[in-house]
Amino acid sequence: MRIYLDFDGTVVEHNFPAIGAENPNAIKVISLLQKAGHDLILNTYRADIDLTYVHEALNFLNSHPNLFKPIESFLPKKLDPKGFNLDNAKACNQLYIDDVSDGIPMRRNQALEFGMMVDWIELELLLRKEQII
């Protein structure tokens, strides 16, 4: 499956242009997706602003000791994510993991006082249930 992975609000908390606090369980699930053979592509608004910000995100991801393998692919402009629906994702062979995807599990930020981010703990349960990981 081709998986379009957002960064701010998804892998880390929103703190642009800085890199926010790591979202709990994100790297673990990303690694599980990689081990399951899925193709991960960074799909972030950082690319719409300046590719320097994309490379900062890739450096953050790829320097993580628990990442299964480097993420090298990214889109030069962000694709608008489709709603989160695992049945549709399996049928289309593509999934958007993004905090702006309607229906994706969300949780409160940990380090910042405001906002929401992807809930990777709940997401892992859903991905396991659907045998995506």
List 118's β-bridge partners, or say none. 106
Show the CA angle centred on residue 53, arms to residues 1 and 47, nearest 5°.
55
Strands 106-108, 39-42: pairing kind: unpaired
Q: DSSP letter at 12?
A: B
Q: Which two tokens stand for residue 119?
A: 């809930």
Over residues 13-40, mean pLDDT: 97
Per-residue confidence (pLDDT) for residue 28, from 0 to 100: 98
Question: How far is the C-alpha of 119 from the C-alpha of 121, rounded, in Å?
Answer: 6
Going by pLDDT thresholds of 50, 70 and 90, the confidence category of residue 50 is: very high
Residue 110 has pLDDT above 90, yes or no: no
Show the CA angle centred on residue 76, arms to residues 52 and 56, nearest 5°.
25
Which amino acid belongs to residue 26? A
**Sequence-ordered list of residues with C-beta below 8 angstroms from that of 69, at least 6 positions apart, any chain:** 34
Question: How far is the C-alpha of 122 from the C-alpha of 16, rounded, in Å?
Answer: 25
List 46's β-bridge partners, or say none. none
Per-residue confidence (pLDDT) for residue 96, from 0 to 100: 98
Residue 114 has pLDDT above 90, yes or no: no
Using one digit for the tens of pLDDT, what is the confidence trace for 63-93? 999 999 999 999 999 999 999 999 999 999 9
Q: Which of 33, 34, 40 minimizes the C-alpha distance to 73?
A: 40
Question: How far is the C-alpha of 122 from the C-alpha of 125, rounded, in Å?
Answer: 5
What domains does the chain contain, in order, with CATH numbers? 2-129 (3.40.50.1000)
